[in-house]
């Protein structure tokens, strides 16, 4: 996005353009002030042009794959180790993870493990016991199991468990626990047929194999196959509980084709996406939950971590690009990327800026990774650098990023006095009102101690040549003048190191009297 203000002076063959800085433009149709490429720029000081904030290295891990924040502390999955606040609290299988928190429990999928930050306990969400019949006593409302450890450490009141393997078919069922002691599970009256027998039975607290997860209204939500699931309120370990209470768990099947690709809590709703569909869950309790289906561009497969909400607007990566969603139809906001296509996106926000790291798709296959930012207030897209970010997490207004080399950074935290930055402007056309002319550029900039800025110009697609170099040796505020020379089009490249704020850029266009 870019705007140009034209000021014509009567009696002179010159026109001045105040060039407003825009964002990157990889597609055709760019205007003065937009960039064909950028490195380490920021829109935070818009309409001035400035650099991104520094990144503070928190810690480097050997094989980290996931990052999450809870109670002001970081949880990191490093290989098979689950680390919370720097301490190992559990073990999982290696690989990419989905993580969210319900109450004090941080749940980790697809492993179906959890860490309770209050009890400082690591456990398995799904529990399965195989018990010999000689150690089982059936009552009409009790199941007494000996020799299987303390049942009260495995199960809780209100959890639905599945019992299978009994030769008494009436005893194979899903039932809700009403009481639990060290060796006895108590259920509603007349749940079982009282009888002794030989063999084995299975007692299982089942957790769905959720392919996407989120927290909303103190429940764990997710999807498996064609089913949308919600845990009991306040307990992410409890599914299959249908007592007719407001705190019950919930499940509903949908009829749309394709796999679920992501879910997120949005306002008072829960949104479930497929690549070409949206299922919106409305309601406050299982008895009044309703699912509404929409055929809209959804979340791209592999990009479920691209979903972030800023000021009640949801941003996410779809097949055709990045979309914004404010409750009605999603709107594509990345037409400036042109024909370039990306995948495997993951995003984060500090509450103001949308950060998204994506991998480019090329004809040869998987391309490079790049980190981009989008400022919703100005509509400006910028590229920061070629960082490959695996995961983001937010603590209040602080944003942390886990890079592919295992380094965890706090973004926009410290000054980087030697930070290199670059802005390659979209080509300027040297024709105005059908007449040829030539330009002179004026830039007003502020340079910090030790900083410098270089200007280079390419004429008619030729190589860049240096036309100026400025530092703050003499003064902090500098007025830089640049002369492109005669050409049909020219490109301006500004680059430097250290803090530099370009307050304004003015183009003085001298028009010839003939076409």
- In the sheet where 127-132 sits, what is the strand order? 127-132, 200-205, 160-164, 173-176
Task: Give the mean pLDDT of 302-307.
Answer: 98
Measure the CA dihedral 493/496/501/507, to 10°. -20
Q: What is residue 422's predicted lDDT score, i.e. its pLDDT?
A: 98
Q: What is residue 306's predicted lDDT score, i.e. its pLDDT?
A: 98
Q: How confident is the model at residue 149 (pLDDT cuts 50, 70, 90)?
A: confident
Digit-coded pLDDT (tens) for 387-409:
999 999 999 899 999 999 999 99
| CA pair distance 437, 9, nearest whole angstrom | 16
Digit-coded pLDDT (tens) for 226-267:
999 999 999 999 999 999 999 999 999 999 999 999 999 999
Residue 414's beta-bridge partner residues?
none
| CA pair distance 441, 79, nearest whole angstrom | 53
Q: Which residues of 437-474 are buried (b: 16+ CB within 10 A; e: fewer)?
A: bbbebebebbbeeebbbbbbbbbeeeeeeebbebbbee
Q: What is residue 505's predicted lDDT score, i.e. its pLDDT?
A: 95
Q: Classify residue 380 as exposed, middle or buried by CB count within 10 Å of its CB (0-12, 13-18, 19+).
A: buried
Least confident among 145-149, 210-214, 317-321? 145-149
Q: What is residue 515's predicted lDDT score, i.e. its pLDDT?
A: 45
- Asked if residues 303 and 261 have their Cβ atoms less than 8 Å apart, the reply is yes
The tokens of 225 are what? 């196959």
Cα 282 → chain centroid: 23
- Asked if residues 384 and 374 have their Cβ atoms less than 8 Å apart, the reply is no
| CA pair distance 200, 140, nearest whole angstrom | 19
- Asked if residues 125 and 107 have their Cβ atoms less than 8 Å apart, the reply is yes
Q: Classify residue 230 as exposed, middle or buried by CB count within 10 Å of its CB (0-12, 13-18, 19+).
A: buried
| CA pair distance 305, 21, nearest whole angstrom | 30
Summary count for the chain: helices (H), strands (E): 0, 50
Task: Give the mean pLDDT of 300-314.
Answer: 98
Residue 147: CB partners within 8 Å, gap ≥ 6? 131, 135
Q: How confident is the model at residue 435 (pLDDT cuts 50, 70, 90)?
A: low
Q: Which residues of 265-282 are buried (b: 16+ CB within 10 A; e: fewer)?
A: bbeeebbbbbbbbbbbbe
**Rg for the chain, CA atoms, rounded:** 30
Q: Which residues of 285-302 are buried (b: 16+ CB within 10 A; e: fewer)?
A: ebeebeeeeeebbbbbbb
| CA pair distance 510, 513, nearest whole angstrom | 10
More confident residue, 231 or 513: 231
Q: CB atoms < 10 A from the CB of 189, how many?
A: 9
Q: How confident is the model at residue 8 (pLDDT cuts 50, 70, 90)?
A: very low
Residue 149: CB partners within 8 Å, gap ≥ 6? none
Q: How confident is the model at residue 135 (pLDDT cuts 50, 70, 90)?
A: confident
| CA pair distance 166, 371, nearest whole angstrom | 56
- Side-chain half-sphere exposure of 438, counting CA atoms within 13 A: 8
The structural domains of the chain, ordered by start, are 4-51+421-511 (2.60.120), 127-205 (2.40.30)
- Judged against a pLDDT cut of 50, whether residue 6 lies above it is answered with no
Task: Give the mean pLDDT of 467-484.
Answer: 88
- Angle of CA points 426, 431, 437, to nearest 5°: 110
Task: Give the mean pLDDT of 274-303.
Answer: 97
| CA pair distance 185, 195, nearest whole angstrom | 16
Q: What is residue 26's predicted lDDT score, i.e. its pLDDT?
A: 95
| CA pair distance 505, 352, nearest whole angstrom | 26
- Asked if residues 469 and 437 have their Cβ atoms less than 8 Å apart, the reply is no
| CA pair distance 133, 119, nearest whole angstrom | 34
- Asked if residues 30 and 426 have their Cβ atoms less than 8 Å apart, the reply is yes
Asked whether the CA dihedral 480, 485, 488, 493 is positive or negative, the reply is negative
């Amino acid at each position: 996005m870019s705007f140009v203000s034209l000021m014509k002076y009567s009696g002179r063959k010159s026109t001045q353009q105040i060039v407003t800085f825009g964002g990157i433009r990889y597609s055709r149709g760019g205007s003065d002030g937009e960039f064909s490429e950028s490195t380490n720029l920021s829109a935070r000081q818009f309409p001035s042009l400035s650099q991104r904030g520094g990144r503070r290295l928190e810690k480097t891990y050997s094989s980290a794959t996931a990052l999450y924040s809870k109670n002001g502390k970081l949880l990191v999955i490093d290989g098979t180790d689950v680390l919370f606040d720097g301490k190992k609290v559990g073990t999982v299988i290696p690989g990419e993870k989905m993580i969210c928190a319900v109450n004090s429990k941080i749940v980790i999928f697809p492993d179906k493990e959890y860490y309770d930050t209050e009890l400082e306990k690591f456990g398995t969400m799904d529990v399965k016991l195989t018990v010999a019949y000689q150690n089982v006593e059936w009552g009409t409302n009790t199941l007494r199991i000996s020799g299987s450890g303390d049942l009260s450490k495995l199960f809780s009141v209100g959890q639905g468990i599945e019992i299978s393997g009994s030769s008494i078919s009436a005893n194979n069922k899903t039932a809700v626990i009403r009481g639990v002691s060290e060796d006895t599970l108590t259920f509603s009256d007349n749940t079982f047929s009282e009888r002794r027998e030989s063999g084995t039975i299975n007692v299982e607290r089942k957790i769905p194999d959720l392919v996407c997860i989120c927290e909303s209204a103190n429940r764990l939500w997710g999807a498996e196959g064609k089913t949308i699931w919600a845990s009991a309120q306040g307990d992410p370990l409890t599914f299959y509980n249908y007592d007719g209470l407001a705190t019950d768990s919930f499940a509903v099947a949908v009829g749309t084709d394709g796999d679920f690709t992501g879910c997120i809590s949005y306002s008072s709703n829960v949104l479930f996406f497929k690549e070409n569909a949206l299922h919106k869950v409305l309601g406050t309790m299982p008895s009044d939950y309703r699912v509404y289906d929409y055929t809209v561009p959804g979340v791209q497969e592999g990009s479920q971590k691209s979903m972030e909400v800023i000021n009640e607007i949801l941003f996410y990566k779809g097949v055709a690009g990045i979309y914004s969603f404010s409750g009605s139809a999603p709107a594509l906001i990345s037409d400036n990327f042109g024909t370039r296509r990306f995948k495997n996106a993951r995003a984060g926000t500090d509450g103001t800026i949308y950060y998204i790291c994506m991998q480019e798709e090329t004809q040869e296959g998987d391309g490079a990774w790049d980190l981009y930012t989008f400022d919703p207030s100005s509509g400006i897209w910028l590229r920061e650098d070629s960082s490959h970010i695996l995961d983001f997490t937010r603590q209040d207004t602080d944003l942390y990023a886990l890079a592919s080399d295992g380094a965890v950074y706090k973004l926009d935290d410290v000054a980087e006095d030697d930070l290199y930055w670059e802005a390659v402007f979209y080509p300027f056309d040297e024709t105005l009102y059908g007449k040829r002319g030539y330009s002179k550029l004026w830039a007003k900039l502020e340079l910090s101690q030790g900083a410098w800025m270089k200007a280079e110009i390419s004429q008619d697609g030729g190589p860049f040549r240096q036309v100026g170099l400025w530092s703050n040796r003499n003064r902090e505020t500098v007025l830089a003048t640049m002369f492109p020379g005669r050409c049909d089009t020219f490109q301006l490249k500004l680059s430097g190191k250290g803090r530099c704020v370009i307050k304004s850029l003015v183009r003085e266009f001298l028009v010839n009297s003939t076409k």
